[in-house]
Structure formats: C-alpha cells, structure tokens
Amino acid sequence: MRVARLKSLFEEVLKTLPKPYTEDVVEDVFVAIENDPRWKKEYEDLRYNLHKNVVNPWGGFWIAHLTGRIAGEQVSASRTTLIEAYTKLAKGPKPTAKKVKEPEALKAMSEYFFANKEALPPAVRENRSLILELIKAGIGVPDAFAKSLEKPALAR
C-alpha cells in the first residue's frame, strides 16, 4: 500500500504546480513537499518505511511518467534538502499509455507471473504492489515486471 501512496503523493503535489511544467519539475515537486507540513510528514513516513533510496528515485520516475516527460541531464538540487540531485525533464511525446483498472491489472499481473514464474527472479515477489501500480499506470506487463527490479535514477 505504501507504494500506491508514494505514487499518489507525487500525483497530488503535481496537481498543485503551475502548468506548463518546467524542465525542473522534479525539483519543483520536492520543494513543494518540503514547504508543506502535511506533504512533508507523508514524505518522511514513506522515506522511513520504504527508505530514501526507494522514495526519491521512484518519486522522480512517477513525476516523469505522470508529466509525460523524458530524462535529460542530471543536476544538483539547489532549492530543497530532500534530494541531492535530479534529472531535468524535457517535453516528450504525448503519453499514449492507457490506464488500466485494478481488477484487469491484477489479472494481467497474475497471468504473466504464472506464465513466466520460472524465468523471473525471486525478488520480483517483493515488488507486487509496485508492479500493480505500474500496470495500472499503463505500463505494459512485461515492462512493469522489469521496471520493478530497476532503481530509477531521476532523483536521489
């Protein structure tokens, strides 16, 4: 459940930022979190339970995914203490990924897992909620399984 909350926190903060987003949208989100006591408390709770090395990179990933932007250059963060560095995000092509409802996502995840169980690493089982969120966000099932084993490098 915390993985779903992680995504929704970044989604909630993004909705409050002025559009169009700048290429510094990752830093903008972390600045907004740092300046809002409620968001900061939620962030600190997520960071405590999931750890900074999970929350910040996946936060950057969700920001990029939700804004439909692509990774650019890595730069040092100067306006927030929550992250040390982040990736500037350039405008990308319009997102074409179609969101999937939870029952369909659960079914697709289960079918893929059982069809590929022998080839998947054991660690993938620990990422069930993340895989589900990725599928619901419109990321293909095989890509969601693969992405769940990676550590995004959009914020650290």
Q: Over 90: is that where the pLDDT of 91 sits? A: no
Identify the sign of the CA torsion 95, 130, 127, 114: negative
Amino acid identity of 46? L
Q: What CA–CA distance (Å, rounded) separates 123 from 74?
A: 29
Contact between 145 and 120 (Cβ < 8 Å): yes
- What is the mean pLDDT of the segment spanning 128-147? 91
Which position has the higher pLDDT, 34 or 155? 34
Site of tokens 């969700």? 62
- What is the mean pLDDT of the segment spanning 119-137? 90
Two structure tokens written together for 12: 């909630």
Per residue in 14-29, pLDDT tens?
999 999 999 999 999 9
Distance of CA 79 to the CA centre of its chain: 21
Per residue in 39-84, pLDDT tens?
999 999 999 998 878 899 999 999 999 999 999 999 999 999 999 9
Residues paired with 155 in a beta bridge? 86
**What pLDDT is recorded for position 94?**
64
Lowest mean pLDDT among 10-19, 89-98, 112-121: 89-98
Q: What CA–CA distance (Å, rounded) separates 103 from 110?
A: 11
Contact between 51 and 6 (Cβ < 8 Å): no
